[in-house]
Amino acid sequence: MIGIISAMQEEVQSLLDALQNCNTVEKGMRTYYTGMLYNKPVVIVFSRWGKVAAAATTTQLINDFDLEELIFTGVAGGIDQQLNIGDVVIGKELFQYDVDARPFYQQFHIPILNLKSVSTTNNDKLNHAVSFFLNNYDTYILKEERINFNISYPKSVIGDIASGDQFISSMEKIKSLNLNLPTAVCVEMEGAAVAQVCYEYSIPFSIIRVISDKANDNAHIDFSRFANTIASNYILGILEYYFA
């Protein structure tokens, strides 16, 4: 079974709409949806925002369901100038930018594990799936929604992701992240926490993020609409090719 997590209900709504033989179970104030998606057994859950919520959901998911891999999906803010709204980031290394246990550990290193970042898996397979999706973009994304969010020629990159429990919305914070984590291309609030739990449980983990904004002073888009009409349909299309 493949686990799929997002931090917003809207980000997986298209998956839930396509889920066949759906059953639900309530645990820890979360609803876990099991069923078949593109002929693959899956369990889908909305984790809520932040590292604690995401880690708790992931732990429950791993302990209660027989997972062969876990995929996190959702939106992120771009901190690489080359990224635009609508681009796709396939996570490579996941950093917790708000972890600082100096002088006992180096900055960003996870205590006890002594890792600065956690690596993902299946990047090549995901990259192929994303490429097929982008080649058939108009099948999944309505023209009016693409125009509404000023998405023209979306691209994909495999890059590092920075996670932390704050919403980044200023150039000052972006400059700090660029300086301290120069390989990070986008920022969000859950991925590295999920990656750490998967690492400790030896569960293959991958992450797909759709750039919703530039994480700066102009980060004011309608996140709910973007998640529901853009990000949710991105993951639906990508998984159709990934599961093929």
- Per-residue pLDDT tens digits for 14-69: 999 999 999 999 999 999 999 999 999 999 999 999 999 999 999 999 999 999 99
Judge whether 213 counts as a catalytic residue: yes
Q: How far is CA 113 from CA 51, 118, 160, 165, 184, in A?
A: 17, 10, 19, 20, 21
Distance between CA atoms of residues 99 and 206, nearest Å: 21
Whether 19 is in a domain gets the answer: no
- Of the pLDDT bands very low, low, confident and very high (cuts 50, 70, 90), residue 218 is low
Collect all residues with Cβ–Cβ distance below 8 Å to 167 and sequence separation of at least 6.
Answer: 189, 219
Active-site pick, 87, 160, 188, 213 = 213
Active-site pick, 10, 11, 87, 93 = 11
- Residue 123 confidence (pLDDT): 86
φ, ψ of residue 187 in degrees (nearest 5)? -135, 140
Whether 145 is in a domain gets the answer: yes
- Residue 178 confidence (pLDDT): 94
pLDDT at 219 over 80: no
Whether 8 is in a domain gets the answer: no
Mean pLDDT of 100-110: 94
Q: By percentage, how much of the chain surpasses pLDDT 70?
A: 97
Mean pLDDT of 205-217: 86
CATH (domain of 180): 3.40.50.1580
Look up residue 206 and give its DSSP letter. E
- Per-residue pLDDT tens digits for 128-155: 999 999 999 999 999 999 999 989 899 9
- Residue 169 confidence (pLDDT): 79
73 or 172, which is more confident: 73
- Of the pLDDT bands very low, low, confident and very high (cuts 50, 70, 90), residue 170 is confident
Whether 13 is in a domain gets the answer: no
Whether 41 is in a domain gets the answer: no
- Of the pLDDT bands very low, low, confident and very high (cuts 50, 70, 90), residue 223 is confident
Whether 29 is in a domain gets the answer: no
Distance between CA atoms of residues 238 and 216, nearest Å: 27
- Per-residue pLDDT tens digits for 73-86: 999 999 999 999 99
Radius of gyration over every alpha carbon of the chain, rounded to an integer in angstroms: 17
Whether 176 is in a domain gets the answer: yes
Q: In the predicted model, what is the mean pLDDT of the chain?
A: 94
Q: How far is CA 186 from CA 106, 183, 227, in A?
A: 22, 9, 16
Q: Which residue range is the domain that position 201 belongs to?
A: 74-242
- Per-residue pLDDT tens digits for 21-34: 999 999 999 999 99
Q: How many CB atoms lie within 10 A of CB 19?
A: 19
- Residue 106 confidence (pLDDT): 93
Look up residue 109 and give its DSSP letter. P
Whether 132 is in a domain gets the answer: yes
Q: 160-194 burial, b if ≥16 CB within 10 A, otherwise e?
A: bbbbbeeebbeeebbeebeeebeebbbbbbbbbbb
How many domains in the chain? Answer: 1
Distance between CA atoms of residues 36 and 22, nearest Å: 7
Residue type, position 99, single letter: V
Judge whether 93 counts as a catalytic residue: no
